[in-house]
């Protein structure tokens, strides 16, 4: 039986980047971009309704930024994987994103790494207390600029 594709929500205020990310991810049979949004608030609303497997989230967006939106999404949908996808590559942005509950971080200049980051983030394993942990290989890939 064929495995269901990973359902992805793409959130970015740049129409060009959002659409190109969607086209890129839709090339893979294992992914299905189910929706796209332009703001953090739209990402929250859409996540509540569609319950995506993965959210690709920009940081800087109008109405509510991606870090704030990630906190809301992770609170309501803790099993949803959030990958921060930003042009920022400074330590503060990365660690603030991960502290908000994001499962990974990828800079936009390394967009071709998104498929492997999504796959690895989806296959997290619980620790001895039953808490899901970030994969260290996913973090090292996403943080190796």
Q: Sort residue 128 into left (φ over 0), alpha (ψ -120 to 50) or beta.
A: alpha
Residue 3 DSSP class: P
What whole-number distance in Å separates Cα of residue 8 and Cα of residue 50?
10
For every one of its 145 residues, what pLDDT tens digit does the chain have, with 9 covering 90 and above?
678 999 999 999 999 999 999 999 999 999 999 999 999 999 999 999 999 999 999 999 988 999 999 999 999 999 999 999 988 888 888 888 888 899 999 989 888 999 999 998 876 544 444 444 444 444 434 444 4
Q: Which domains does the chain have, with CATH numbers?
A: 6-143 (3.40.50.2300)
Considering only CA atoms, which of 1, 19, 132 is closest in space to residue 10? 19
């Amino acid at each position: 039986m064929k495995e269901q594709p990973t359902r992805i929500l793409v959130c970015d205020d740049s129409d060009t980047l959002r659409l190109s990310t969607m086209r890129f991810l839709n090339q893979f049979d294992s992914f299905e971009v189910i929706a796209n949004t332009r703001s953090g608030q739209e990402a929250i609303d859409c996540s509540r309704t569609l319950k995506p497997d993965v959210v690709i989230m920009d940081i800087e967006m109008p109405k509510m930024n991606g870090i704030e939106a990630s906190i809301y999404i992770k609170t309501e949908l803790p099993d949803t994987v959030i990958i921060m996808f930003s042009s920022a590559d400074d330590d503060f942005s990365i660690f603030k994103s991960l502290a908000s509950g994001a499962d990974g971080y990828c800079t936009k200049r390394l967009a071709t790494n998104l498929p492997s980051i999504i796959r690895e983030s989806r296959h997290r394993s619980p620790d001895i207390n039953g808490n899901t942990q970030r994969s260290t290989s996913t973090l090292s890939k996403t943080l190796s600029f």
